[in-house]
Amino acid sequence: MALEELKKYTIIVADTGDFDAIKTYQPTDATTNPSLILAAAKMPQYKQLVDSTVSSSATLEEAMDRLFVAFGLEILKVVPGRVSTEVDARLSFDKDAQVAKARRLIKLYADAGIAKERVLIKLSSTWEGIQAAKLLEAEGIHCNLTLMFSMPQAIACAEAKVTLISPFVGRITDWYGKKLGVSSFDRESEPGVRFVRGVYNYYKKFGYKTEIMGASFRNTMQILELAGCDLLTISPALLEQLRVLPAEVPRRLCSERASQDCPDSAARSLNEAEFRWQLNEDEMATDKLAEGIRRFAADAATLEKQIEAALVAKSSA
């Protein structure tokens, strides 16, 4: 089946906070974010996990940190690789605050006996997020830069020696579909897929070690067109479609072909002003980065209200 074929070329990562789904599809890694944790926290089967986190926390901030790590710890029981745990998107423009939060999360994992090599700290691909990642990587704390929509972001992450980036395929295609008034694209013109291919070829041609993990997929075509990408993070619904899809999966991305497929003659480097200007000139990336930060921040705030109510109930009991 297509899923097993895909695993020959690409590391499969589950894009969910649902432990049962992770067990079903047996990915190597798993990713979480505030939206996924919010969805999982509402599931009856995880009520005990949420309650135990609240009961062991004195403040809302402590409870939120512990909850994210608690889900990560459960995920690490069923995946052999790494889990990505996200720093609050509301800190996306504060380098020092992101660094402090990342260190706090890593300490909570360490207190639970988990080595930092099994954790990826997720940060938004803002200039501040990338600079926070650069500092953290120098300390041996590995980072996953998310909300990735443009080459300036990808180049800055590679130069910062970030462990992994997550370009958002589906959201890129959504934006161009709305802009152009089309409901679908063919394989060759699919905007999100083309972007990830470009980043992949650029990284491989110039020898960057940063891994590329395609994310935010809308359909199996987008996924299969990126067979060979370092990693792909996929929702349970699409994992199920791939599991039952009786299709051969040819490799689409290959490091040996990267040099001929990448048009750049030399690697690029960006200072802060160049990064901000080039990102500003990319309407799609500017829109989707801001929207993504707002969306994750809103879901984090909603989750906070749920946890705060539980803390109040605990204190008045």
- Rounded Cα distance between 27 and 76, Å, is 11
**CA-CA distances (angstroms) from residue 98 to 67, 95, 264?**
18, 5, 33
Average pLDDT over residues 151-169: 98
Cα→Cα distances 132→32, 92, 295, Å: 19, 10, 21
Q: How much is the pLDDT for 314?
A: 82
Token pair, residue 50, equals: 């949420």
**Catalytic residue from among 122, 134, 204, 288:** 122
Asked if 77 is an active-site residue, the reply is: no
Task: Report the C-alpha gap between 98 and 87 in whole angstroms.
Answer: 7
CA distances from 44 to 40, 138, 183, 309, 313 (A): 9, 40, 36, 17, 18
Q: What percent of the chain has pLDDT over 70?
A: 100
pLDDT in tens, 237-256: 999 999 999 988 999 999 99
39-43, 130-134, 278-282: least confident range: 39-43
* pLDDT tens digits for range 45-57: 988 898 899 899 9
| Distance separating alpha carbons of residues 54 and 181, to the nearest angstrom | 47
Give the pLDDT confidence score for residue 77 in this predicted structure. 94
Decide: helix, strand or coil at residue 232: strand
Across 114-136, average pLDDT: 98
- 155: pLDDT strictly greater than 90: yes
Residue 317 has pLDDT above 70, yes or no: no
State the Cα–Cα distance between residues 127 and 231, nearest whole angstrom. 24
Q: Which domains does the chain have, with CATH numbers?
A: 2-316 (3.20.20.70)
